[in-house]
Chains A and B, each alone.
Chain A
Amino acid sequence: MTRALDLANLPDADVVALALEGRDSAHRELIRRYERPVFSLVFRMVRDRELAEDLTQDTFVKVLSHLDRYRADFKFSSWLFKIANNVAIDHLRRRQLDTVSMDGSPHAMTAEAVESTRFDVADSAENALDEMEAKELGSAIERAIAQLRPEYRSCIMLRHVEGRSYEEIASTLDLPLGTVKTYIHRARHELRRALEHTRE
Chain B
Amino acid sequence: MNHRHLLPNEIDLLVDGEAGFGVAPLRAHIQECTECRERLEDARIVVEALEALPHFAPDSRLADRVMAQVPVFVPAHVAARDSVRRWLPQSAAARVAALAVAGSAALTLTIGMVWLALQGDLMVFATGVLGERVRVAVVSAGRDLAVALLGDAALSALQGLGAMGAVLLLVAFLIAAVGTVAGIRRLAVASRRA
Known: A141-B49, A160-B50, A195-B45. A27 touches B70 (CB 8 A): yes
Which A residue sits closest to B39, measured CB to CB? Answer: A192
* A160 CB contact (under 8 Å) in B45, B47, B55: B47
- Whole-angstrom distance from the CB of B67 to the nearest CB of chain A? 6
Interface centre among B70, B72, B73, B75 (most CB of A within 10 A): B70
**Contact between chains at B63 and A32 (CB < 8 Å):** yes
**Contact between chains at B75 and A21 (CB < 8 Å):** yes
Interface centre among B55, B66, B67 (most CB of A within 10 A): B66
Check A93 for interface membership: any CB of B closer than 8 A.
no
Known: A35-B63, A56-B58, A192-B42. A22 touches B70 (CB 8 A): no
- Using C-beta atoms within 8 Å of the partner chain, give the interface range for chain B: 20 to 34
**Contact between chains at A31 and B56 (CB < 8 Å):** no
**Contact between chains at A31 and B63 (CB < 8 Å):** yes
| Docked complex Cα distance between A195 and B44 (Å) | 12
Total contacts A to B, CB within 8 angstroms? 102
Check B4 for interface membership: any CB of A closer than 8 A.
no
Q: Is the interface of B mostly helix, strand, loop or mixed?
A: helix
Check A112 for interface membership: any CB of B closer than 8 A.
no
| Docked complex Cα distance between A3 and B57 (Å) | 24
Interface centre among B9, B15, B42, B72 (most CB of A within 10 A): B72
| Docked complex Cα distance between A27 and B74 (Å) | 13
* A24 CB contact (under 8 Å) in B55, B67, B78: B67
Residues of A within 8 A of B53 (CB): 40, 141-142, 160-161
- Whole-angstrom distance from the CB of A46 to the nearest CB of chain B? 12
Which B residue sits closest to A22, measured CB to CB? Answer: B74
Residues of A within 8 A of B74 (CB): 21-22
**Contact between chains at B71 and A28 (CB < 8 Å):** no
**Contact between chains at B66 and A64 (CB < 8 Å):** yes
Which A residue sits closest to B77, measured CB to CB? Answer: A21
**Contact between chains at B62 and A60 (CB < 8 Å):** yes
Chain A contacts to B: CB under 8 angstroms? 21-24, 27-28, 31-32, 35-37, 39-40, 43, 52-53, 56-57, 60-61, 64-65, 139, 141-142, 156, 159-161, 163, 181, 184-185, 188-189, 191-192, 195-196
User: Besides A57-B69, A60-B70, A185-B9, 4 other CB < 8 A contacts?
Assistant: A141-B49, A161-B51, A191-B49, A192-B42
Chain B contacts to A: CB under 8 angstroms? 8-9, 12, 15, 42-43, 45-47, 49-51, 53-59, 62-63, 65-67, 69-75, 78
